[in-house]
Amino acid sequence: MGKETFIIEPHFRLQEWVAEEKGYFKQEGLDYIFRETVQSSDGAAHQLGDKVGAFQTFERGRKSDISCACHWTVNVAATKGHGKLYGEAYSVSTCGVFVPPDSKVKTPEDLAGVPISVGFQSGSHYATIQALEQFMPADKINLSFKDGLLFGRMEKLLHGEVPACTLFSGPYYFAEQLGFRKIVDCTFMMATMITGDPDMADVDKYFRGLKRAQSDIDLRPELYTHYYKREFPTRFHAKMDTRRWGPGERIVFEPYSRDVFEESREWIKEHGIFDGGDLGAKAYDNAVVRVA
């Protein structure tokens, strides 16, 4: 594989799968490698341990040219020099705090003091705080970081090992399908990180392919929800009825603006997400890639 080959890793959403199988990336002239990581590792790539989450994976380095995570983490990772935030699009992810069907928790206020399983410095971490702080003081929001990024904490919720869990995308729909109850919505923004030094013309081809896929999903979502099985370890497939699932994360082809960048950083700093308030020194113009 030469350096010119663009590497794509899907990220819990439908768009890359639709674009890949409909040939949109090839039609846009993109020379690429499509690298699936969930089934090939049986989900182990996402079981990173206590207080190891999306930000830490950027610190370690990602092998794909394009990857996605919650916009808060991509924002800080870009300012700390771990890549560049792509500023011409963002996405909005389905997310919520779920509890078992028989839980005594009925309202958001009932979650005060209850351990909620989330991914450390990952979307569920920030989004759960953002959703719950309107219902309770900060010292009553009890986040647990020990259950992994996504499949680990989902599986523990399904097995009754955790009292509450924040899930997004496919795991959100899976828990809902199995009768777990959503207590509060935690919808959040996601952003794209560009790592290494890919040709920006290739990045543009990639996003043109995704835009065509997004249009297909908007028009006929029921034709594409089966792709969620590509994003789940095979041990879950027998119980999954993706006909009941929604379209999940939606890509918005609008800028991740300077105002959004700065307001997000202020929120992160106010909430003490990073020790010492160190959010990196690079400003918007150095951390964000915009198309001229």
Q: Is the pLDDT of residue 140 over 90?
A: yes
Q: What is the pLDDT at residue 148?
A: 77
- All CATH 3.40.190.10 domain ranges of the chain, comma separated, are 6-91+189-285, 95-187
Residue 236 backbone phi and psi in degrees, to 5: -95, -15
Considering Cα of 74, then 230, then 173, then 161, what sign does the dihedral take?
negative
* Superfamily (CATH) of domain 95-187: Periplasmic binding protein-like II (3.40.190.10)
**Three-state SS at 97:** strand
Percentage of residues of the chain with pLDDT beyond 70: 89
Give the whole-angstrom CA distance, residue 153 versus residue 173: 14
- Superfamily holding 6-91+189-285: Periplasmic binding protein-like II (3.40.190.10)
For the residues 256-278, what does the mean pLDDT come to?
91
| pLDDT value of position 5 | 87
145-204 pLDDT per residue, tens: 998 778 999 999 999 999 999 999 999 999 999 999 999 999 999 999 998 888 999 999
pLDDT for 156: 96
Q: Give the C-alpha distances (Å, rounded to integers) separating 253 from 171, 181, 205, 284.
A: 25, 32, 14, 19
- What is the average per-residue pLDDT within 202-218? 97
Query: Per-residue pLDDT for 10 more than 50?
Result: yes
* pLDDT over 90 at 99, yes or no: yes
- State the pLDDT at residue 49: 54
Q: Evaluate if residue 226 carries a pLDDT over 50.
A: yes
Question: How much is the pLDDT for 1?
Answer: 38
Predicted pLDDT at 40: 62
